[in-house]
Structures are given as structure tokens and as C-alpha cells.
Amino acid sequence: MREPPDAVSADSALLPPESDESILRRHEKWFCSMRWLAIAALAALGVIGLTAKALVAPLGFHLEPGWPFLVAGVLLVLNAAYLLMARRAERSTRHAMHDRRGLWVQIILDLAAVTVVVHYVGSVATFAPFIYLFHIVMACIFLPYAQSLVVTLAAMGMYLTSLLLEGTGVIAPGSVLDRNAIPQPVQAWHAGAVMFVSGTVWYLASRLANALRQRDKRLSAINRRLVAATEERAGHMLSTTHQLKAPFAAIHANTQLLLGGHCGPLSIEAVAVVEKIAVRCEMLSRGIKAMLQLANLRSAAQDTPSPVPLDVSAVIRACLAGLQPQAAKRGIVFEEELSPAAVKAVQDHAAMIIENVLSNAINYSRDGQRVSVSSRAKPAGGAVVVVRDSGIGIRPEILPRIFDDYFRTTEAAAHNHASTGLGLAIVRQSALAGRIGVRVESAPSLGTVVTLDFPSSPG
């Protein structure tokens, strides 16, 4: 069979909203990444000052290597310290407090470093003061209105202080430009322009960011309500479906009694009727089981079983043994290529995923076809399971919907009347819980390939 061209992954789900703390922590790490770039740029400037001073001099640049290396060195030490603190904070219970305090320490020290750079590059002779704008815009994006104003005022305060110190002769004005070639601009005019642009940028960016934040908060609130409603629905579904299971258990038990001859001999016609009842009862019981599995997986109130060490190939063998009668009825033959593959996973989840995928491969194959299943360990840990059939396949436009609850394609419904339409929804939910990758590739009339990517541990 050629490789089916269309594929879909089971990674879309209604996820709970990300907390402010986690957003902050994620951004803190991003700030550190950006700071490595700034350190690299300063180091490059230092190298140019050290090795190519004569080359840039004709262009009007007067580059000393000392200050770029100094600022890069200080930032390097600070950045390493921030990352270390962030890692420690992740393991402690005081995340939020650390993140807030650590973030403000980083902002103030970054602004101090920028002020040093602006001073040496040229606080009045160049456009260096506009470097502050990066920090102002980032503050507008990531911090509330008032806090972004504090950052803007802090930046302008530091800039004005450096101008004051330069103006009063406490420190000598610095510039990378050849001061003989560049006329001295008026300090007050330059400072005013920087202040005006910074203030305008802060106003526009903070207004825009604030509007986006408000909308984000509204969306988060809606999402939270949606998650709560989904959980409530799952809880009701679990309870109601469970109540349905009892009468079916009684019907099933009584049909077994009749068919087993425990209530006396039955006529051939009566056996045929009771068999029909038993078959329908089994179908409904299977549907109820699937609904219970799904509701249980989605119910946040339920206790999630712990992951245990598993050999994926053993789980596959157990599932194949259970499905053998179903396959044999239709003359479907399994081709196994199973290598041991150790993972850590929730036993029930792994079994539900593999059983549903194999069951689908049987159900949507044609009579007498082959279903192949393979497992192998990944070199870096974890396992890959591939289930391949040559059955009816799935149309590409339908593929993105196959993990939806109760979704069945017209072809699937016609091919297998007994399907509940919940198998792949259970697969998706179990896979999300165990961080197991599920990829489905399919082509109509050619068949379907499902690849399960088990991590070494769900983490």
C-alpha cells in the first residue's frame, strides 16, 4: 500500500486557560533568551573595537572595546543568575512572588545597562536613547497599564540622570561618533525629543496592549466557563451512563440465563429472539462502556491512575488476544512485528488507545484483509506503535473531524453499523492525558495508518 497522503493529529482539545504566573514565567525565559542576543551584540561590538578600530575610524566611528565587554560581562553574569533563580523557583512553591520580584529586578538592571550603553554610544549625539523604546514597548505588552508607565518613567529618569551627570561634568559625555565630524546638538532639544517619542510610544502601545489584554481576559473567562461546563457535563454523563449500565447488566444476565438453558428448554424461534436481544444488549453495553470511558477521562473530579512501567508490545498482545474473535469472524488476519518497548504510562489509558485503534482497523477493513501492527523502542526512550489497514480509508476533508465525539463518516456508518463514534474521541482524550502522540494518515479505498508515539514517561 502506498503511503496515504492525508494526516491529522489528536492534539486539539479544550485546554484550561494558562495562568498569569505561567505566562509570566514563560516570558521571563523569553526575556533571558533576548538578553543573550543583546550580550552577543555587545561582545561583537567589543571585538570590532578591539580588532577593527582602524577600519571603522574612516567611517566616523570611534569605538572603544572596554565598555561593550564590561556591559556584556555584567549582563552575562546577571542573565545566568536569572535563569538559575527561575529554575529554582519552578521547583519551589513561591513561584508567583519570586517571578514578580525577579522580573522587576531584571527590568531595573536592564534599564541601567541600557543607560550605560546609551551613555557610551552617545546620549545626545546619536539615536541610541531610542533603545529604551524596546523596553517601553515590551513593558506595555507584558505589564498592566500603571506598571508600564512606571517602566517608562524609570527609563526616562535614568536617561535624564545620565544627561544631568554629563551636563554637569560629573562624567564625560561619550559617543561612538567622531565628535569632530558631528556637530554638538542642543542637549535640551534632544532630551525633549526622546521624552516626547517615548511618551507617545508608551501611550499608543499601552492603550493597544490594554485593549488586547481586556479582550484576552474576556476570552479567558469564557474559556474557563466552557471548561467548567464541559467538566460538569462529563460528571453528569458519567453518573447517568453509569445508571444505564445496571439495567443492561440485568438484561444481559437474563439473556445468558435463557440461552444457557438454565430456565428450561427454549424453542428455536425463542432462541433466535433471545439471541437478537443479547446482540442488541451487547451493542448498547459497548456504547455505554465507551461513553463511560470518555466521561471518566474528561471528569476532573476523578482520580487519575498513576503511570506504571509497561512493555507496549505486551499491551498490544493482550489487546490482539481480546480482539481475535472479532477479527476471526470476518477473516481478518493480524500481521505482528512487535519488539519490546518499555514506557511509563497509565495501563488503562495505553490499553484503551491501542484497543480502539486496532478495533477500528478491524472494523474498517474489508473481509479477509490484513491488519499489521508493529512496535519498536525509540533510541532516546519511549515507543512507536504503527497500526496499518488496507480498508475503506477516510476522505481528506473529513480527516480533521475524526477525533470528534460521535463523528462517523457516511462510509464508516455504512461499513460498520455497530460503531459508537466514540473510539477516536477516547483515543484523543487518553493520549492527551498521557502525552502520547497520535497521527492518522489515510486515503479513501487505500486504508489508514495510525502512528502512536509514546514518550518514555508522561512527565
Provide the binding-site residues for other proteins, judged by CB under 8 A.
238-239, 242, 245-250, 252-254, 256-257, 260, 262-263, 281, 285, 292-293, 296, 302-303, 305-306, 348, 352
Residues 6+ apart with CB under 8 A from 40: none
DSSP structural state of residue 365: S
Taking the complex as a whole, the smallest distance from the CB of residue 289 to other proteins amounts, in Å, to 8
391: three-class secondary structure by DSSP: coil
Closest approach, Cβ 253 to other proteins, in A, equals 4
In the complex, the smallest distance separating the C-beta of residue 426 from other proteins, rounded to whole angstroms, is 11
Helix 95-122, helix 145-167: angle, nearest 10: 30
Q: Of the candidates 245, 180, 223, which has an alpha carbon nearest to the alpha carbon of residue 13? A: 223
Q: Which is nearer to other proteins, 156 or 238 (CB)?
A: 238
Q: Which is nearer to other proteins, 61 or 248 (CB)?
A: 248
Nearer to other proteins, 257 or 414 (CB): 257
Main-chain phi, psi angles of 343, to 5 degrees: -140, 170
- In the complex, the smallest distance separating the C-beta of residue 418 from other proteins, rounded to whole angstroms, is 16
Name the residue nearer to other proteins (CB basis): 118 or 288. Answer: 288
- C-beta closer to other proteins: residue 209 or 281: 281
Q: CB of residue 430 vs other proteins: minimum separation in angstroms?
A: 11
Q: Closer CB to other proteins, residue 6 or residue 405?
A: 405
Output the CA–CA distances (angstroms, integers) from residue 172 to 52, 164, 165, in the order listed.
24, 11, 8
277 CB-contact burial (10 Å; exposed 0-12 / middle 13-18 / buried 19+): middle
User: How many CB atoms lie under 10 A from the CB of residue 180?
Assistant: 8
Minimum distance of other proteins from residue 268's CB (angstroms): 22
Contacts of residue 410, Cβ cutoff 8 Å, sequence gap at least 6: none
Instruction: Between 242 and 376, name the residue whose CB sits nearer to other proteins.
Output: 242
Place of cell 488507545: 353
Give the shortest CB-299-to-other proteins separation in angstroms: 9
Q: For residues 331 and 367, is the Cβ–Cβ distance under 8 A? A: yes
| Residue number, 158 or 346, with CB nearest to other proteins | 346
Quote the strand ranges of 280-424, DSSP E: 308-311, 333-338, 342-345, 370-377, 383-389
Which CB atom, from 56 or from 251, has the smaller least distance to other proteins? Answer: 251
State the nearest-atom distance from the C-beta of 311 to other proteins, in Å.
Answer: 19
Tell me, what DSSP letter sits at residue 175? B
Name the burial class of residue 172, with classes exposed (0-12), middle (13-18) and buried (19+) by CB atoms within 10 angstroms of its CB.
Answer: exposed
Taking the mean position of all CA atoms in its chain, how far away is CA 352?
23
- What is the closest distance, in whole angstroms, from the C-beta atom of residue 288 to other proteins in the complex? 9
